[in-house]
Amino acid sequence: MKKIFLTVFVLMGIFMFSLFIPHLTMAHSPVKVNKIIVSPVPFKAGNTVSISVEIENTARSNYGCVGTELFKVFLSIWKSDVVPGNYLWSTSQPLTAVLGPGEKRTIAFSANWTVPNIDPDKFIFEVIGPRCPPDEIVDGAKLSFLRSCSYFPIARMEYIRIRKIDIGK
């Protein structure tokens, strides 16, 4: 009985470890999203909102692939929860120069968002940082604005990690 239990336990351990091997071999973008900046705050239906983000290259070397499809900061806005039926709007802003080691940069989106005349409990601003091939994992952040008479940000920003499969090729 002990041999069977030990064998099953070892096989389960090997199986669980094998699930994590692909994640160990995936390259990770060194760029992280530090801040999401929304103006005006608070905002309400009909307002035009401008958005910018602060990103940081956490690597000790330059990072960038200027002119490629993925070397952009991506923004999506959702109502209530980040699920397919709640998607409202998105835009992206290309980076025009590589990021130096440890460099922080504020990126202003050229497109502005007009707050729709709908009544969700919150709006969620989701930002995904840039990446260069062969990086497959990229960091991002979400900032939620809760409804009262206007929409106010909640106290903290959530950080997220997204694989290439989740954002397309």
Q: Using alpha carbons only, how large is the chain's radius of gyration in Å?
A: 20
Per the model's pLDDT, the better-predicted residue between 12 and 105 turns out to be 105
Do 88 and 33 touch, CB atoms closer than 8 A?
no
Q: What was the pLDDT predicted at 15?
A: 62
Give the torsion through C-alpha atoms of 7, 9, 15, 16, to 10 deg: -170
8 Å CB contact between 49 and 43: yes
pTM, two decimals, is 0.76
Mapping DSSP to helix (H, G, I), strand (E, B) and coil, where does residue 121 land? coil
Give pLDDT tens digits for 149-163: 666 666 566 777 776
Q: How far apart are CA 14 and CA 82, in angstroms?
A: 34
Question: Is pLDDT of 169 > 50?
Answer: no
pLDDT digits (tens, 9 = 90+) for 58-102: 999 999 999 999 999 999 999 988 888 999 999 999 999 999 999
pLDDT at 22 over 50: no
Instruction: Name the superfamily (CATH) of residues 29-167.
Output: Immunoglobulins (2.60.40.10)
- What pairing do the DSSP bridges indicate for beta strands 135-147 and 158-163? antiparallel
Q: Say whether pLDDT at 23 is over 50.
A: no
Q: What pLDDT, on a 0 to 100 scale, did the predictor assign at position 80?
A: 87
b/e per residue 41-67 (b: at least 16 CB within 10 A): eebeeebebebbbbbbbbeeeebbeee
| For residue 140, pLDDT beyond 70 | yes
pLDDT over 80 (residue 19)? no
Unique residue bearing structure tokens 């336990």 = 9
* Three-state SS at 120: coil
Residue written as token pair 């801040």: 35
Q: What is the pLDDT of residue 105?
A: 98
Q: Where are the beta strands (DSSP E) in 4-157?
A: 27-28, 31-39, 48-57, 72-79, 87-94, 104-108, 113-114, 122-128, 135-147, 151-153
Of the pLDDT bands very low, low, confident and very high (cuts 50, 70, 90), residue 128 is very high
> What is the rounded average pLDDT for all residues in the chain?
85
